[in-house]
């Protein structure tokens, strides 16, 4: 943050200097106006780069969006998708049942249907496939 303040202070000083110079050049006409304009252009060019780097593109640490169309395409129901997310969190069938207030039998049914729809043989593979489809 201190660095930002210093940069902006220097920037303001540079701009003031340039504007003074441009006024001087306009009055006395002994300095080429194009050079002044070019200098201002260059300064603002770098200001644009700096602002963009600082404010517009700071975090954005990935975290890709979920492909909801793919979920529909795979014909996953709400419950199946809920179970899939729990599986990806590393929960057992019993734990998922407890988390969703259901019986383990129900979870097994959902998991079985899930594996068919995702064309997976195991829950670990289902997670892998789901990640490749970006649905979790």
Partner DNA sequence: AAATGGGTCATACTTAAGTACCAAAACGCT
Partner DNA sequence: AGCGTTTTGGTACTTAAGTATGACCCATTT
Residues that bind a second copy (CB under 8 A): 19, 22-23, 26, 33-34, 36-37, 40-53, 56-57, 61-62, 64, 87-92, 120-129
Instruction: Report the partner that residue 24 touches, choosing among a second copy, DNA, none (CB closer than 5 to 8 A by kind).
Output: none
Task: Give the nearer residue to a second copy in terms of CB position, either 76 or 91.
Answer: 91
Task: Give the nearer residue to DNA in terms of CB position, either 36 or 87.
Answer: 87
Which are the contacts of 31, defined by CB distance < 8 A and separation ≥ 6? 21, 24, 25
Q: How many whole angstroms separate alpha carbon 1 and alpha carbon 5?
A: 6
Instruction: Report the partner that residue 26 touches, choosing among a second copy, DNA, none (CB closer than 5 to 8 A by kind).
Output: a second copy
Instruction: Report the partner that residue 102 touches, choosing among DNA, a second copy, none (CB closer than 5 to 8 A by kind).
Output: DNA
Distances (CA, A) of 106 to 45, 92, 97, 103, 126: 62, 13, 8, 5, 18
Task: Give the nearer residue to a second copy in terms of CB position, either 71 or 111.
Answer: 111
Min separation Cβ 78 and a second copy, Å: 21
Task: Give the nearer residue to a second copy in terms of CB position, either 92 or 105.
Answer: 92
Instruction: Report the partner that residue 78 touches, choosing among DNA, a second copy, none (CB closer than 5 to 8 A by kind).
Output: DNA
DSSP string of 1-63?
-HHHHHHHHHHHHHHHHHHHHHHHHHHH--S-HHHHHHHHHHHHHHHHHHHIIIIITS-----
């Amino acid at each position: 943050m201190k660095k930002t303040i210093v940069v902006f202070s220097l920037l303001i000083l540079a701009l003031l200097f340039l504007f003074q110079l441009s006024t001087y050049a306009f009055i006395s006409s002994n300095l080429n106006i194009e050079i002044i304009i070019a200098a201002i252009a260059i300064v603002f060019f770098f200001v644009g780069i700096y602002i963009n780097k600082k404010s517009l593109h700071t975090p954005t640490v990935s975290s890709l969006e979920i492909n909801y169309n793919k979920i529909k395409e795979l014909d996953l129901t709400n419950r199946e998708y809920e179970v899939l997310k729990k599986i990806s969190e590393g929960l057992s069938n019993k734990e998922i049942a407890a988390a969703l207030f259901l019986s383990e039998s129900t979870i097994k049914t959902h998991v079985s249907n899930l594996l068919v729809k995702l064309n997976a043989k195991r829950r670990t593979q289902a997670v892998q496939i789901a990640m490749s489809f970006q649905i979790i």
